[in-house]
Amino acid sequence: MSNGLKQYFPMIQTREELCKKIQTTPELKFLFDSWDESQQEEFLQFCTGMQGGKILYDSFFKEILNPDTAPSRLEELLSLILQRHIRILHVLPNDSSRIAEENALLIMDIVVQLEDGSIANIEVQKIGYSFPGQRSACYLADLLLRQYKRAKNERKKKFSYRDIKSVYTIVFIEKSSGEMKRHKQDYVHHFCQKSDTGLHMELLQEFVFIPLDIYRETRHNKGIKNDLDAWLTFLSEDNPEIIVQLIKQYPKFIPMYREIYELCRNVEKVMGLFSKELQILDKNTVQYMIDQMQDTIDEQKNTIGEQQSIIQEQQTIIEQLKKQLEK
């Protein structure tokens, strides 16, 4: 498979070239040896084109979809997701006051202000977590509050609530869990607030959840049908055969893959980035396990509470029956 990708990206290193660079550089060898065998193999596979580039890795995602250097790419992706023309005005600092433990489940996020003043937050989650709706609502409320404070500070006495624009959170989920897995044919979930009477108010907050694992499953049956499918394939697929199919059908992704494989040639840098990703993933996995265990504990507490209630009721009935016998 590496030969198939190498036809399009001749800068891809062979396994022998890459291993030689690692083994002859003490610092790189030490770092490589600190990984387990599966991690070593994963690194060698994607750097040599045996598997596609890890687009959802923080460093790659921000490199390819950097709104400072290549805004048109992120603009196109957001336009397809939000189904309207998007133009990025500028990038906002990621200075959210989120609770630290919540950040553990996020790989990265990019916050941009759009031409109409609205704000979009783009996130990648490697692992699905518990209560995604509640957590995302808190994140978006935080983003809305930041916008309010900034607008009030800039406009001062001229401030009006009309200055507050819509906020969007777009979440790409690599491995979904829970409720999303029950919707096996749906992979773009768009949430917005609407009245049950038809009354229209601008409530400003919109959410889009995109479980990429579910998209991949549906793509096996229907193929790459449109531009959004192409982007989701680019973000989620590491099968070289599918990547070749993608770049033949949509050549615009060739320069993006080329940038990734050029980055892979800087072995010291890419090993550092990969090591950082492993650390984040380990932290995410631990947090996910904590969430799952806490859910189990809560369920068990509820079950025990219900059982204790039943026992108490039965005990009360027994006491009442005993009193009847004593009469």
Is position 48 within any domain?
no
Nearest to 261 by CA among 53, 76, 104, 3: 53
Q: Give the CB-side neighbour count of residue 215, counting CA atoms within 13 A.
A: 24
The answer to whether 240 and 215 are in contact (CB under 8 A) is no
Distance CA 265, CA 327 (A): 92
Is position 199 within any domain?
yes
Is position 195 within any domain?
yes
pTM for this predicted structure:
0.79
What percent of the chain has pLDDT above 90? Answer: 42
Number of domains, the chain: 1
The answer to whether 267 and 22 are in contact (CB under 8 A) is yes
Is position 274 within any domain?
no
What is the predicted pLDDT for the residue at 285?
52
Is position 286 within any domain?
no
| pLDDT tens per residue, range 149-203 | 988 998 888 999 989 999 999 999 888 877 788 888 889 999 988 889 989 888 8
Is position 219 within any domain?
yes
Distance CA 314, CA 262 (A): 72
Per the structure block, which two tokens stand in for 208? 């889009």
The answer to whether 75 and 87 are in contact (CB under 8 A) is yes
Say whether 111 sits in a helix, a strand or coil.
strand
Domain residue limits at 201: 55-237
| pLDDT tens per residue, range 236-292 | 998 999 999 999 999 999 999 999 999 889 999 999 888 887 776 655 554 555 555
- C-alpha distances in angstroms, 295 versus 81, 251, 290, 305? 32, 45, 9, 15
The answer to whether 189 and 208 are in contact (CB under 8 A) is yes
Consecutive H or E run containing 191: strand 189-192
Is position 152 within any domain?
yes
What is the predicted pLDDT for the residue at 321?
73
Is position 260 within any domain?
no
What is the predicted pLDDT for the residue at 140?
85
Mean pLDDT of 49-60: 81
Mean pLDDT of 119-140: 79
Per the structure block, which two tokens stand in for 317? 């009935």
Nearest to 166 by CA among 149, 152, 148, 150: 148
